[in-house]
């Protein structure tokens, strides 16, 4: 997606503890490297504690965008969890919205306690397919495990976004540079770069829904 | 090095609003920084603490907000620049001294940043701190973006020194926890030498009230020409949108996006108390409609109305206000409740001005309706997998049940606040402000005809913050209660900041540890330390304390799983469910482990109808090993542990 549309609105959504904030920071910094104006709004009072977490990332060239995306205005949604991807798509999606998501569920306490039901995955997939202009599934947790740590699924998903071809203005090299600068520890840097590249590779082979 | 600390002026860095506020203090050459953490403000002091090693200023996590602000005032009395930051609740803790130091005045620049939490993402209220500025008659600045927050901090130090008053900056979640590109400014050399001269005296007394009014009028004169107050739009516009904070940015976007640029002007008020009356009148006197956006209370709205009521004495017509009090500006729960959002601004603006609003496509309009039928499960907050609080609440639940006198648990503020919900088995009966739990329990424990045992909890950081007076009172007045400190070795809820019990200071250096058990012992209350992961022993300890019917303290000590996970070098043995032993729905335990224990790492496999461990979520704490009646939950390469207590 070229920056013909202003602002470009991306949402990264998931559950507390999945590394949402780090992911949004990397995407935003990649934009700054390209001279874009950027804003992130994040809700993480409940981070680490099982709540829904969502980061709004907005890029523009001609003005400084505010921290929140209006409902129905997301261009891209990156879902770290399928239920959250669907929830956010219904609220923030429009006919042109494209989605990448990790299909691995994370069960809310109300589901564990038997008071609520987690929807069938097939149902979530069907609705995502129907609503999104394009939806791609990526087994990010498995790819992260392959890269060395299942917790690096956030970097796999960032790689998937970077390699999706939906962000023409942000070259892969900008992401790699940001990740290189962000992690001072050599081992962590290597792990995160491996996970990022798994995402880039993975999305090129990912099945559309 | 943290890019926020870079010396190159002009460089553009992605910063969180809180980092921008800290950077502003650094660019003002701040000498002294002290705070108590609280979301959404914590990263300000965290950044300043990291920065202390680079720039040489003092940085501390103080024991509470009042001490932090008073320490800053102390530095100011000696001529230094000082900043403190806190969440809205913290300002209430400070308010006593705020309403005397306004009279006594200050010397070196003192800035108080309060980060409000409209909507209460992580708070027990959504109090609008701006009213404190009015109450204490102190200057107030309200940034709209992270970049502006940085500039306001720098200006606030200058203003404070000019008028000899502390200056309040009101941030909100959408500034503090937003990120944006911020341009770095110069970092000056710090060369102030602290000294208190013979005439440096700071006495609060009503006799000085006229001096405060004089100072406020000086501030007002400054604000009349402040660059933080601006008007954007056609001259003499019929419709003027007055806005403060992030609402000003939402208004700007909405006006542009709805194609209203030629019709409506935007009056952005950043230097908002005392009101710049002449500036306001200049821009509103020709308006027919005034629309006001702000969060949470109608603070700007009321102040504008007061100004305009005074201004129309000359015969001008009063503009019509479209605002919270008129009911035009409101979210789903009504006016002056919750965050301001772009959606509220777009929709209200379109409705008021008769513009074509935004509409969702038929597909999404239908989805908005269908989603209600889908009944997607909400995500309630929960203790993390491996959280010691889950063990503690399990202990309390079992002990109160065994005691069988309908004992009550009185809660407090921290991660364990979640004890009011399912994750804490709905045990906590109260949730208010820090230190209130032990206070409530003091009363309940001294009621003559009240026979239900009283147990109060507080976290380790809360213990030092505001439980000490309650602790002394419970001994002095012999309140029959058990006070349990849930000591997880850090201020976990706000990001693991150290406190006096940790033996580390804000810079991560070793310091003298203030022992909570020695404090309790010195007060003369019998105190026991137990590990809540030793379920049997902990339940027994609480049983004993309840039996004693006198003031008792228990310290449930077990490190936060997140801190422990960060510090741990080697892997722990994997926890798994022996699929041969687990009988699933055939067992008769009624899914005791996943349904009742409520750990997000212990899930139910719908296809096999048996429990499983989600190894992505599980922290391998092992506490669940002892709860399965079939002993099917096991540690890899470890002998089976004997099962204890299986109450439902």
Which residues of chain B make contact with A52, given a CB cutoff of 8 A? Answer: 379
**B638: pLDDT strictly greater than 80:** no
Which residues of chain B make contact with A28, given a CB cutoff of 8 A? Answer: 14, 179
Summarize the confidence of residues B295-319 as an average pLDDT: 87
Written as one string, the DSSP assignment of B529-592 is EE-TTSHHHHHHHHHHHHHHTS-EEEEEE---HHHHHHH--SPPPPEEE-TTT--GGGSSS-SI
- Greater confidence (B76 vs B314) lies with B76
Question: Whose structure tokens read 């699933």?
Answer: B584
Contact at CB, A86 and B376, closer than 8 angstroms:
yes
pLDDT at A182: 92
Contact A102, A82 (CB under 8 A): yes
Task: Identify the band that residue A1 occupies on the pLDDT scale cut at 50, 70 and 90.
Answer: very low
Give the model confidence (pLDDT) of B437-483 as tens digits: 999 999 999 999 999 999 999 999 999 999 999 999 999 999 999 99
**B245: pLDDT strictly greater than 90:** yes
Question: Is A148 an interface residue toward B (CB < 8 Å)?
Answer: no
CA B173 to chain A, closest CA, distance in angstroms equals: 8
In chain A, where are the structural domains located? 8-204
B313 and B415 share one domain? no
pLDDT at A44: 62
Q: What percent of chain B has pLDDT over 70?
A: 98
Give the number of beta-carbon pairs within 8 Å between A and B: 168
Distance CA B100, CA B97 (A): 5
Contact at CB, B381 and A46, closer than 8 angstroms:
yes
- Greater confidence (B598 vs B473) lies with B473
pLDDT at B648: 43
Bridge partners of B171? B115
Task: Identify the band that residue B189 occupies on the pLDDT scale cut at 50, 70 and 90.
Answer: very high
B42 and B169 share one domain? yes
Give the model confidence (pLDDT) of A96-144 as tens digits: 999 999 999 999 988 988 889 999 999 999 999 999 999 999 999 999 9
B132's tokens: 């404190």
With CA atoms as reference, report the closest residue to B38 among B150, B121, B145: B121
B200 and B134 share one domain? yes
- Greater confidence (B129 vs B600) lies with B129
pLDDT at A51: 85
Is residue B411 in a domain? yes
pLDDT at A2: 52
Contact at CB, B616 and A94, closer than 8 angstroms:
no
B488 and B583 share one domain? no
B232 and B256 share one domain? yes
Domain A8-204 falls under CATH 2.115.10.20: no
Is residue B101 in a domain? yes
**A3: pLDDT strictly greater than 60:** no
**CATH no. for residue B280?**
3.40.50.920
**B641: pLDDT strictly greater than 80:** no
Which residues of chain B make contact with A94, given a CB cutoff of 8 A? Answer: 360-361, 364
**B305: pLDDT strictly greater than 80:** yes
Distance CA A198, CA B38 (A): 37
Task: Identify the band that residue B570 occupies on the pLDDT scale cut at 50, 70 and 90.
Answer: confident
Summarize the confidence of residues B244-255 as an average pLDDT: 97
With CA atoms as reference, report the closest residue to B270 among B222, B331, B320: B222
B417 and B346 share one domain? no
Is B648 exposed, middle or buried, given 0-12, 13-18 or 19+ CB atoms closer than 10 A? exposed
Contact B623, B583 (CB under 8 A): no
Contact at CB, A50 and B384, closer than 8 angstroms:
yes
**CATH no. for residue B476?**
3.40.50.970
A18's tokens: 């999945």
Give the model confidence (pLDDT) of A160-180 as tens digits: 999 999 998 899 999 999 999
B484 and B608 share one domain? no
pLDDT at A144: 97
Answer with the one of B188, B223, B258 that is the final residue of a domain. Answer: B223
pLDDT at B382: 87
Contact at CB, A64 and B145, closer than 8 angstroms:
yes
Give the model confidence (pLDDT) of B611-623 as tens digits: 999 988 898 999 9
Summarize the confidence of residues B393-401 as an average pLDDT: 97
B111's tokens: 């800035």
What is the DSSP code (8-state) at residue B105? -
**A32: pLDDT strictly greater than 60:** yes
Is residue B376 in a domain? no
Task: Identify the band that residue B647 occupies on the pLDDT scale cut at 50, 70 and 90.
Answer: very low
Cα end-to-end distance, chain A, whole Å: 20
B155 and B296 share one domain? no
Contact at CB, A116 and B378, closer than 8 angstroms:
yes
Summarize the confidence of residues B205-227 as an average pLDDT: 97
Give the model confidence (pLDDT) of B125-184 as tens digits: 999 999 999 999 999 999 999 999 999 999 999 999 999 999 999 999 999 999 999 999
Is residue B304 in a domain? yes
CA B362 to chain A, closest CA, distance in angstroms equals: 9
**A16: pLDDT strictly greater than 90:** no
pLDDT at B646: 45
Is residue B595 in a domain? yes
B92 and B233 share one domain? no
Q: Which of B379, B562, B595 sits opposite A113 (nearest CB)?
A: B595
B339 and B439 share one domain? no
Give the model confidence (pLDDT) of B350-359 as tens digits: 999 998 888 9
Summarize the confidence of residues B229-251 as an average pLDDT: 96
B168 and B34 share one domain? yes
pLDDT at B223: 98
Is residue B360 in a domain? no
Contact at CB, A68 and B383, closer than 8 angstroms:
no
**B256: pLDDT strictly greater than 70:** yes
- Number of domains into which chain B is organized: 4
Which residues of chain B make contact with A109, given a CB cutoff of 8 A? Answer: 379-380, 382, 422-423, 598, 600
Query: Residue B96 belongs to what domain range?
Result: 3-223
B94 and B215 share one domain? yes
Question: Is A172 an interface residue toward B (CB < 8 Å)?
Answer: no
Contact at CB, B422 and A113, closer than 8 angstroms:
yes
Task: Identify the band that residue A195 occupies on the pLDDT scale cut at 50, 70 and 90.
Answer: very high
Decide: helix, strand or coil at residue B392: helix
CA A66 to chain B, closest CA, distance in angstroms equals: 6
Is residue B167 in a domain? yes
Written as one string, the DSSP assignment of chain A is --TTSSSEEEEEEEETTS-HHHHHHHHHHHHHHTT-EEEEEEE-TTTTTT-EEEEEEEEESSS---S-PPTT--SEEEESSHHHHHHHHHHH--TT-EEEE-------HHHHTTSS-PPPHHHHHHHHHHHSSEEEE--HHHHHHHHT-GGGHHHHHHHHHHTSSS-TTS-HHHHHHHHHHH--SHHHHHHHHHHHHHHHHHHHHPPB-
Q: Which of B173, B358, B371 sits opposite A72 (nearest CB)?
A: B358
């Amino acid at each position: 997606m070229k920056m013909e549309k202003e602002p470009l609105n991306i949402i990264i959504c998931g559950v507390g503890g999945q590394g949402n904030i780090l992911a949004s920071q990397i995407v935003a910094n990649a934009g700054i490297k390209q001279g874009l104006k950027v804003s992130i709004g994040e809700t993480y009072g409940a981070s680490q504690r099982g709540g829904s977490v969502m980061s709004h990332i907005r890029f523009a060239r001609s003005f400084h965008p505010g921290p929140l995306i209006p409902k129905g205005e997301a261009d891209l949604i990156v879902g770290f969890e399928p239920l959250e991807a669907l929830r956010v798509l219904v609220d923030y999606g429009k006919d042109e919205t494209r989605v990448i998501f990790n299909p691995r569920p994370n069960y809310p306490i109300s589901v564990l306690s038997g008071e609520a039901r987690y929807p069938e995955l097939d149902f979530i997939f069907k609705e995502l397919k129907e609503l999104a202009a394009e939806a791609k599934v990526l087994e990010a947790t498995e790819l992260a495990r392959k890269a060395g740590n299942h917790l690096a699924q956030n970097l796999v998903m960032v790689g998937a976004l970077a390699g999706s071809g939906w962000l023409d203005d942000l070259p892969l090299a900008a992401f790699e540079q940001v990740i290189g600068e962000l992690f001072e520890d050599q081992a962590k840097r290597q792990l995160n770069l491996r996970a990022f590249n798994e995402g880039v590779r993975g999305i090129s082979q990912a099945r559309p829904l | 090095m943290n890019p926020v600390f870079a010396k190159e002026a002009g460089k553009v860095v992605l910063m969180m609003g809180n980092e921008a506020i800290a950077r502003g203090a650094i660019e003002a050459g701040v000498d002294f920084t002290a705070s108590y953490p609280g979301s959404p403000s914590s990263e300000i002091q965290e950044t300043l603490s990291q920065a202390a090693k680079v720039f040489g200023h003092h940085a501390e996590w103080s024991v509470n907000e009042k001490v932090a602000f008073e320490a800053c005032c102390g530095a100011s009395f000696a001529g230094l620049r000082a900043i403190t930051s806190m969440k809205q609740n913290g300002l209430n803790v400070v308010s006593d001294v705020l309403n005397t130091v306004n009279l006594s005045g200050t010397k070196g620049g003192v800035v108080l940043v309060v980060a409000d939490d409209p909507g209460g993402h992580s708070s027990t209220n959504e109090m609008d701190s701006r009213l404190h500025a009015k109450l204490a008659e102190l200057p107030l600045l309200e940034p709209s973006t992270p970049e502006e927050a940085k500039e306001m901090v720098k200006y606030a130090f200058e203003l404070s020194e000019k008028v000899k008053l502390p200056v309040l900056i009101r941030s909100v979640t959408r500034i503090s926890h937003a990120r944006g590109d911020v341009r770095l400014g110069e970092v000056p050399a710090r060369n102030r030498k602290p000294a208190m001269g013979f005439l440096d005296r700071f006495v609060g007394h009503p006799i000085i009230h006229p001096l405060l009014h004089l100072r406020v009028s000086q501030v007002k004169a400054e604000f009349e020409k402040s660059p933080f107050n601006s008007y954007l739009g056609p001259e003499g516009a019929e419709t003027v949108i007055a806005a403060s904070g992030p609402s000003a940015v939402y208004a700007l976007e909405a006006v542009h996006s709805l194609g209203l640029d030629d019709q409506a002007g935007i009056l952005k008020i950043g230097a908002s108390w005392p009101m710049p009356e002449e500036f306001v009148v200049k821009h509103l006197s020709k308006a027919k409609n005034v629309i006001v956006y702000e969060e949470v209370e109608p603070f700007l709205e009321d102040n504008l109305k007061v100004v305009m009521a005074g201004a129309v004495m000359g015969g001008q017509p009063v503009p019509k206000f479209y605002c919270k009090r008129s009911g035009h500006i409101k979210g789903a729960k009504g006016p002056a409740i919750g965050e301001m959002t772009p959606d509220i601004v777009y929709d209200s603006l379109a409705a008021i001005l008769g513009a074509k609003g935004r509409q969702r496509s038929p597909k999404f309009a239908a989805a908005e309706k269908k989603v209600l039928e889908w009944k997607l499960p909400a995500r309630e907050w929960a203790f993390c997998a491996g959280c010691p609080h889950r063990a503690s609440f399990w202990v309390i639940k079992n002990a109160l049940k065994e005691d069988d006198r309908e004992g009550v648990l009185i809660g407090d503020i921290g991660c364990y606040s979640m004890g009011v919900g399912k994750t804490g088995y709905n045990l906590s009966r109260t949730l208010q402000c820090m230190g209130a739990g032990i206070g409530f329990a003091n009363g309940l424990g001294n009621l003559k005809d009240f026979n239900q045992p009283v147990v109060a909890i507080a976290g380790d950081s809360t213990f030092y913050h505001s439980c000490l007076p309650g602790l002394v009172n419970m001994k002095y007045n012999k309140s029959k209660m058990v006070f349990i400190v849930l000591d997880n070795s850090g201020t976990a809820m706000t990001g693991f900041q150290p406190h006096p019990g940790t033996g580390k200071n804000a810079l991560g250096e070793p310091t003298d540890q203030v022992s909570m058990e020695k404090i309790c012992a010195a007060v003369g209350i019998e105190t026991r330390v137990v590990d809540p992961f030793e379920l049997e022993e902990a339940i027994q300890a609480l049983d004993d304390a309840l039996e004693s019917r006198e003031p008792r303290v228990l310290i449930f000590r077990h490190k936060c799983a997140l801190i422990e996970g960060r510090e741990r070098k080697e892997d722990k043995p994997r926890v798994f469910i022996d699929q041969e032993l687990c009988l699933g729905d055939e067992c008769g335990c009624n899914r005791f482990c996943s349904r009742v224990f409520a750990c997000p790492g212990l899930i139910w496999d719908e296809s096999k109808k048996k429990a499983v461990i989600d190894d992505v979520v599980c922290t391998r704490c092992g506490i669940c090993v002892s709860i399965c009646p079939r002993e099917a939950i096991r540690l890899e390469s470890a002998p089976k542990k004997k099962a204890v207590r299986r109450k439902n």
